[in-house]
Amino acid sequence: MDPTTLNALSDGRRAVSLVHGRIIDGTTREPIDDGFVTLAEGRVAAVGAMGDQRRGDADAVVIDLGGKTVLPGLIDCHAHLVYRGFRSLEDVDRCTVELGMVNAILNAEALIGAGYTTVRDVGTIGNVAATVRDAIVAGRIAGPRVVASGQAICPTAGFADNLPAHWHGEHGFGAIANGPWEFVKEVRRQIKTGVDNIKIGASGVEVGPYAHSWMTTVTQEELTAAVGEAHRRGRTVAVHCQSYDSVKYSLRAGADTIEHGTRLDDEAVDLFRASDAILVPTLCTLFSVLQLGDKLNLLPKQRSEMAVNEALWLGSLRQAREAGIPIAAGGDIGNRFPHGTNARELEYLVSQGFTAHQAIIAATGTAARALRRERFIGTLAPGRFADLVVLDGDPLADIRQLQDQMRIAMVFKSARLVAGMVRQHLGLGRAETQGIGIDLLGERWRERH
Ligand SMILES: [Zn+2]
C-alpha cells in the first residue's frame, strides 16, 4: 500500500471501500465469503456481497483484501484499565492513582492494537477510566472508545473493601456505601465525576480478603436503590455477582449486566430470561488463577476458593447458554493476563462449547447490547460507527488467531486506520488520532433526548 493511500485511510477524509473480504458482521447472519464494506464520514456506508456492490464513490480508496476477514471492532465488556498484571484486589489498592493512570494509558494503546475498539472499564481507582476516556476522545492519546465506571461501590467488608481499616483512603478501588441512601449518594457523586456506568460489588470475591465469593454482601434494598438512581440518570449498571442471591437481587433490581455469574440456580435463570440483562462470564479471571496460581504465588484463599468455584462457574455458564441467556465477552483483563490478550476470552468461550462464530458475536453484537450501545457499535451495518478489524486469517477456523498480533492487519475506528500491522510495516507507528473520538455517552444522550 502506497503512502498516499495510507494517508487517505488515516485522515478519514475520503470514503474507503474494502473489497474481496470475508465479512463477519457481528450478528448471527452467515458470514459473506466474498464481500465488501464501504466506510464514509466515520460510519459504515454499505456492506454486502461483492455482487451487490453498486458503483461506488469514484473518490473512494479501494483496498483489495484478498480474502482477509473483516469483523466489527472487538468489544471487551469487563476490563480494568488501571490493572497491569495485578494478582489480587489488594494489589489494586496498593497501586497509586498516578501509576494507575500510566497503566491505563499503556493499556488503552495495547487494546486498540489488539483490535479492541471499545472497552467497558468496570472499576478504577480515583477517576482514571473517565479521564482516559476523555483524553482518547480529545485525540490526546491512542485507545478504544471507553465506557467508564468509577470506583466499585460496595459495603464495608464487601468486594472492593480490601485493606485494613487504618489504611482506607478516599481514592482506592472501592467506594464504600452502607444502606440504600449511601448507595444512592455514591451513584450521584460518580455521575458528577462523569462516569458512563456504575459498578457495584454484590458478593465477595476470591481475590479479596474479607468476603468469600459465595457470600452475598448487599441487601436487595441497596441494589434496588442504586440501580434505580443510575437508570434515572441514563447510566448502565454492572454488578459483580458470584453468590446465588447476588445474581437474583441484581436481576430484580434491573441491572444491565451480571458479571461473573459464578453461581446460577433455576430461579436465577428464570429471572434472567424474563429480563433484558446480559451475562458476562469473565472466564479469563477464572483460568488465570487456575493456570498462574503457582507462578504468581497467590494466597491459599484465592486458589482454593477458585478451585471450588471452577465447576460451579462452568456449570452456570452451560446452564445460561442452554437457556438462551445472552452472553457477552469480557475477561476481567489486567488481572494476571495482560491487556492486548483480551481475545483469550473468546478462546475460553469456545473451550466451553461456543462455536467460534458465537464467541465473536459475544465480543461484538451482544457486547454492544450489554453496553446498551448497539445502535452505534458492535455490528457492520449502514449507519454504525466504522469500527472494524481486518484479520489476516480465518477466526472461524481457529479463534486463537484473534490473539495473534501479526494477523491484525488493520484496525479502523470511525473509518480511520488507527492500528494494525499495515501501519507498522510502513513505519507509521502510532496513529494520529486527533479529533477522531466520539463520546459514546454523548451519542446515547443524543439518541434518547
Ligand atoms: Zn473485574
pTM: 0.95
Region of poorest pLDDT, from 252-261, 345-354, 413-422: 413-422
Report the pLDDT averaged over residues 215-236.
97
| Domains with residue ranges and CATH for the chain | 3-72+378-448 (2.30.40.10), 74-370 (3.20.20.140)
Q: Give me ligand 1 centre to Cα 439, in Å.
A: 23
Q: Give me ligand 1 centre to Cα 334, in Å.
A: 9
Q: Give me ligand 1 centre to Cα 422, in Å.
A: 33
Q: Give me ligand 1 centre to Cα 397, in Å.
A: 30
Residue 44 has what pLDDT? 96
Report the pLDDT averaged over residues 409-438.
75
Q: Give me ligand 1 centre to Cα 122, in Å.
A: 6
Binning pLDDT at 50, 70 and 90, where does residue 434 land? low
Extract the C-alpha cell encoding 122: 468496570
Q: Give me ligand 1 centre to Cα 83, in Å.
A: 10
Q: Give me ligand 1 centre to Cα 282, in Å.
A: 8
Please check the confidence at residue 336 and state whether its pLDDT lies above 90: no
Please tell me whether residue 1 adopts helix, strand or coil conformation.
coil
Residue 428 has what pLDDT? 61
Please tell me whether residue 204 adopts helix, strand or coil conformation.
coil
Q: Give me ligand 1 centre to Cα 332, in Å.
A: 5
Binning pLDDT at 50, 70 and 90, where does residue 17 land? very high
Q: Give me ligand 1 centre to Cα 78, in Å.
A: 6
Please check the confidence at residue 328 and state whether its pLDDT lies above 70: yes
- Contacts of the segment 316-320: beta carbons below 8 A, 24+ positions apart: 316/261, 316/262, 316/263, 316/264, 316/281, 317/261, 317/279, 317/281, 317/283, 317/352, 318/352, 318/353, 319/264, 319/269, 320/261, 320/264, 320/269, 320/272, 320/279, 320/281
Q: Give me ligand 1 centre to Cα 51, in Å.
A: 45
d(CA 103, CA 446): 32
Please check the confidence at residue 11 and state whether its pLDDT lies above 90: no
Q: What does the pLDDT look like over 109-129, one tens digit per residue?
A: 999 999 999 999 999 999 999
Q: Give me ligand 1 centre to Cα 152, in Å.
A: 9
Q: Give me ligand 1 centre to Cα 356, in Å.
A: 24
Q: Give me ligand 1 centre to Cα 56, in Å.
A: 44
Please check the confidence at residue 311 and state whether its pLDDT lies above 60: yes
Report the pLDDT averaged over residues 374-397.
97
Extract the C-alpha cell encoding 193: 465525576
Look at the alpha carbons of 292, 296, 302, 303 in this order and tell me if their dihedral is positive or negative.
positive
Residue 77 has what pLDDT? 98
Q: Give me ligand 1 centre to Cα 280, in Å.
A: 10
Q: Give me ligand 1 centre to Cα 389, in Å.
A: 25
Q: Give me ligand 1 centre to Cα 121, in Å.
A: 9
d(CA 375, CA 363): 15
Residue 271's closest CA among 211, 217, 319? 319
d(CA 57, CA 16): 9
Q: Give me ligand 1 centre to Cα 260, in Å.
A: 8
Q: Give me ligand 1 centre to Cα 77, in Å.
A: 10
Q: Give me ligand 1 centre to Cα 113, in Å.
A: 22
Q: Give me ligand 1 centre to Cα 265, in Å.
A: 22
On average, the pLDDT of the chain sits at 91
DSSP secondary structure, 125-166, as one string: STTHHHHHHHHHHTTSS---EEE-B-SEEE-TTSTT--S-GG
Report the pLDDT averaged over residues 442-446.
69
Q: Give me ligand 1 centre to Cα 59, in Å.
A: 45
Q: Give me ligand 1 centre to Cα 79, in Å.
A: 6
Report the pLDDT averaged over residues 341-367.
98
Phi and psi at 107, nearest 5°, equal -65, -40
Binning pLDDT at 50, 70 and 90, where does residue 448 land? low
Q: What does the pLDDT look like over 229-283, one tens digit per residue?
A: 999 999 999 999 999 999 999 999 999 999 999 999 999 999 999 999 999 999 9
Beta pairing, strands 43-49 & 32-40: antiparallel
d(CA 71, CA 360): 9
Q: Give me ligand 1 centre to Cα 80, in Å.
A: 7
Residue 422 has what pLDDT? 81
Report the pLDDT averaged over residues 179-188.
98
Region of poorest pLDDT, from 4-13, 119-128, 303-312: 4-13
